[in-house]
Structure 1
């Protein structure tokens, strides 16, 4: 597959995932306002480093699934159960009493490693890449091999780095809007995962 196609696909999918308000975006905005843009770029580099491997792993798992189609139904059932558990958890977080969290200032020298830690805590990244790459493989827009996965991961790294950098640059202008959306994010995610879970149940019973 063409190098540039894999690069663009990775860039677009990562940008789509990075543009959605999340704790990573909020951290970038807060970090930029508190420590300045230079330190924030190291934080984002930490994010991007982990996302490179997460994209690669997502592509590998998607390829395994598509090659072993007899396990798809089982995986769909397991995935549906996970979706309902995630939905319940998101609603629990949203409706639970909010505790005031004291912010800790992170030394500039540790920004990169802090970014790596924060990105590792983002448990949605691998399922996100897995889902989208499975769709690309299914529609024959992506052919998995070691090089294509590598090119895709480079594109995703550039895409996520670019989007998070934009968040850092415009932090002052979007801080309040992003915070408002973030307060509703758990409820939105609970609804979305619940709807997708119900859709999966309907699909499994009707196919």
Structure 2
């Protein structure tokens, strides 16, 4: 019963995080259209492999934080700095993306490794899992252990893989809509991280 509970929680949280338009979703759509669904699945496999470990790291960090509240201020300061840096980076991506017209072709045989590389650049994954699992721990829905973290990570991997596969399957129907949203997503993320980062900075000062 515990296995299915944590599997379900991991699936739901990962699916909700993966459904939001991002550069990973857009890459899946573009790759599926250009190289076919089979190649896109290898790409998604690379995403899911890294997300499995990111979910484990997020669970471990959330457990450490919840048990050692004295680290809260330090983590708060570090988190604030990261948010501000991320905000600057998202705005940089937004204002320079229109100039990057040339798209690099990706060899099918390198699809999996390309997926691993791109997922490692996904700076929001670990903070997302960290925040989500901390919330679950606070609500008494999650009790950390290596085994429970493993169950959760398996569920999150399945959830992410399922959502990205859905994007690959309906790529031809959502390409233009997702492309439009993706051109604005960096500005939206930059604004959100900037607001939260500045708010935290004011609070700390």
Tell whether the structures are fold-level matches, with TM greater than 0.5.
Answer: yes
Superposed CA offset, 1:128-149 (max 9, x none): 1111111111221110000000
After the TM superposition, which residues 22-171 of structure 1 pair with which residues of structure 2 at under 5 Å, given as runs?
22-96=22-96, 98-171=98-171
Change (3 A) 1:188 1:97: closer
Using the TM superposition, give the Cα deviation of residue 203 of structure 1 relative to its aligned residue in structure 2, in angstroms: 5.1
Superposed CA offset, 1:24-78 (max 9, x none): 1111000000111111111111111111011011111111111111011221122
Q: TM-score, normalized by length of structure 2?
A: 0.93
- Equivalent position SS for 1:144: coil
Provide the C-alpha distance between the structure 2 equivalents of 1:89 and 1:46, rounded to a whole number of angstroms. Answer: 24
Structure 2: gaps spanning 5 or more residues: none
After the TM superposition, which residues 8-27 of structure 1 pair with which residues of structure 2 at under 5 Å, given as runs?
8-27=8-27
Provide the C-alpha distance between the structure 2 equivalents of 1:201 and 1:142, rounded to a whole number of angstroms. Answer: 30
Q: TM-score, normalized by length of structure 1?
A: 0.92
- Equivalent position SS for 1:141: coil
Structure 1: gaps spanning 5 or more residues: none
RMSD: 1.7
Change (3 A) 1:5 1:85: same
Provide the C-alpha distance between the structure 1 equivalents of 2:203 and 2:5, rounded to a whole number of angstroms. Answer: 32
Provide the C-alpha distance between the structure 2 equivalents of 1:12 and 1:20, rounded to a whole number of angstroms. Answer: 13
After the TM superposition, which residues 173-184 of structure 1 pair with which residues of structure 2 at under 5 Å, given as runs?
173-184=173-184
Superposed CA offset, 1:81-117 (max 9, x none): 2212222222233234732342232222222122111
